[in-house]
């Protein structure tokens, strides 16, 4: 997969990412003070795939996946600058936040919240899943 500096990517309408006038497929890395701070994956010019963030010292601080139609999906994990897992957000395939968990620096679970979907797929409605407003 092609990897480029994020500064070389163009965003003419904030919907698509272009490189040399063509929709970009690959990974764009943003740098701060010469060190990577964020990586975003694109396919055919749209966010699609892993997204990572790092702290100044190089510690991974966030990891998750983006899709073109629903944004953040699946599990997203967050670490502090010492490498401790401090958060997890699990989203379904439609981008609904379904679970939120937080841990303290000692690794103790301090919060767990489960949510019903806000956006319900057509298939789920047809199969009788209750919409969120009921």
Structural domain includes residue 24: no
In a domain, 39, yes or no: yes
Question: Residue 14's pLDDT is what?
Answer: 81
Tokens 């163009």 belong to residue: 10
pLDDT attached to residue 132: 45
Q: Is residue 48 part of a domain?
A: yes
Which CB contacts under 8 angstroms, 24+ apart, belong to 8-14?
none
- pTM assigned to the model: 0.83
pLDDT at 36 over 80: yes
Collapsing DSSP to helix, strand or coil, 122 comes out as helix
Number of domains in the chain: 1
């Amino acid at each position: 997969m092609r990897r480029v500096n994020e500064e070389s990517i163009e965003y003419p309408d904030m919907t698509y990412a272009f490189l040399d006038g063509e929709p970009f497929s690959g990974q764009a890395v943003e740098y701060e003070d010469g060190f990577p701070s964020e990586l975003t994956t694109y396919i055919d010019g749209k966010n699609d795939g892993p997204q990572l963030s790092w702290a100044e010292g190089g510690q991974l601080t966030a990891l998750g996946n983006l899709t073109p139609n629903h944004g953040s999906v699946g599990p997203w994990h967050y670490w502090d600058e010492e490498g401790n897992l401090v958060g997890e957000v699990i989203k379904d395939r439609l981008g609904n936040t379904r679970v939120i968990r937080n841990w303290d620096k000692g690794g103790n679970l301090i919060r767990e919240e489960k949510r019903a979907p806000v956006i319900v797929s057509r298939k789920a409605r047809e199969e009788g899943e209750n919409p969120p407003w009921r």
